[in-house]
Amino acid sequence: MTLRLAIVGLGKIARDQHVPSIAKTEGVELTSIASRNASIDGMSHFPDIETLLASDEAVDAVALCTPPQGRHAQAVAALQAGKHVLLEKPPGATVSEMGPLVALAQEKGVTLFATWHSRFAPAVEPARAFLADTDIHSVHVEWKEDVRKWHPGQAWIWEPGGLGVFDPGINALSIVTAILPRPMFLRRSDLQFPENRAAPIAADLEFTDATGLAVRAEFDWRETGGETWSVHVETAKGKLTLSEGGKKLALDGQPMVNEPDAEYAGIYRRFVELTKTGAIDVDLSPLQHVADAFLLGRRHVVDAFVEA
């Protein structure tokens, strides 16, 4: 049976990633859109999820691609209606709102899937397998990009709950938490806030684990010389580097993995599999690390951010 899916929130990420990936994935079909300001020609369209759910439209599942601040209410509405729910990252604006969603999905017997698309990058699983069998000495994360290029005009991202630089930074955290053999926890957080914004433009974090492993993560939205999306791991077997967001993997500079991006196709394959049994896949560790970064964060005020 093909899963009939509605996208809620047809913004840039939905158009660029979700729509084409759904079209390539067996077992799922995009049948409708719920979005205030966007639609797809020839496809059923509704202004919001409430109107969609109140209609006669045949929908089995929804993919929530709206900003995280309002996503909890949308997820509740979909779960109450017995729909499977896929959550774009981050799964919510807070950690505490997720527990009741998991409980509701369990009550209704439907799938709730909190996606971390970077975990489906081709180098992530090989990196996890490599690190499971060697001593790890240190980890250094560099996740730097130009906010004007990658998030143009997205005012919500600078508001409370929008995460600021942690919107891309949480992708790095989702990779690190997937590949390291032990849980890590935060020791230091320095956050740089533009004087005219409510969310940080840069972050410098230090983590450790039960063995004392040093993990440092640097996130910055002011990089104009090209993107850096890399995780460097010093090990007993050499320096392991994931680069280009997890598309490439190298050991001491020698290539191990170099494959094209297929993250969102991986997400939808996983979603289709989960919905066959109504299984739940909700790992909140990346979001918890971001919450801890704000909890322990030393606030540093920097120059105002101006969109153009």
pLDDT value of residue 308: 76
pLDDT value of residue 260: 87
pLDDT value of residue 119: 97
| Rounded Cα gap, residues 269 and 283, in angstroms | 17
pLDDT value of residue 261: 83
Separation in Å, CA 205 to CA 46, 123, 273, 290, 295 = 42, 23, 35, 10, 12
User: Cis peptide before 90, with omega less than 30 degrees from 0?
Assistant: yes
**Per residue in 125-178, pLDDT tens?**
999 999 999 999 999 999 999 999 999 988 999 999 899 999 999 999 999 999
pLDDT value of residue 262: 87
**Per residue in 257-305, pLDDT tens?**
999 888 999 999 999 999 999 999 999 999 999 999 999 999 999 999 9
pLDDT value of residue 266: 96
**Per residue in 115-136, pLDDT tens?**
999 999 999 999 999 999 999 9
CB distance 240 to 250 below 8 Å: yes
Burial class (CB in 10 A: 0-12, 13-18, 19+), 208: middle
| Catalytic-role residue among 12, 24, 89, 237 | 89
Question: Does residue 1 register a pLDDT over 90?
Answer: no
| Rounded Cα gap, residues 13 and 11, in angstroms | 6
Question: Does residue 255 register a pLDDT over 80?
Answer: yes
Alpha helices in the chain (DSSP H): 12-13, 19-24, 49-54, 71-80, 98-108, 124-131, 147-150, 166-179, 263-275, 285-296
Question: How would residue 195 be classed by pLDDT, with cut points 50, 70 and 90?
Answer: very high
Instruction: Tell which residue, 305, 299, 290, has the closest CA to residue 162.
Output: 290
**Per residue in 75-98, pLDDT tens?**
999 999 999 999 999 999 999 999
**Topology (CATH) of 118-258+291-302:** Dihydrodipicolinate Reductase; domain 2 (3.30.360)
263-291: b or e for each residue (b if 16 or more CB lie within 10 Å)? bbbbbbbbbbebbeeeebebebebbbbbb
**Per residue in 12-57, pLDDT tens?**
899 999 999 999 999 999 999 999 989 999 999 999 999 999 999 9
**Which residues are registered as beta bridge partners of 301?**
193
Beta strands in 182-224 (DSSP E): 184-194, 202-209, 214-220
Average pLDDT over residues 183-193: 98
To the query of whether residue 276 is one of the catalytic residues in this protein, the response is no
pLDDT value of residue 51: 97
Question: How would residue 242 be classed by pLDDT, with cut points 50, 70 and 90?
Answer: very high
Radius of gyration of the chain (CA): 19
The two three-digit tokens of residue 289, written as one number:
């690390």
Domain range summary for the chain, segments of one domain joined by +: 3-114, 118-258+291-302
Point out the least confidently predicted range of 99-108, 185-194, 255-264, 290-299.
Answer: 255-264
**Topology (CATH) of 3-114:** Rossmann fold (3.40.50)
- What is the residue-wise DSSP string for 70-113? GHHHHHHHHHHTT-EEEEPSSS-SSSTTHHHHHHHHHHHT--EE
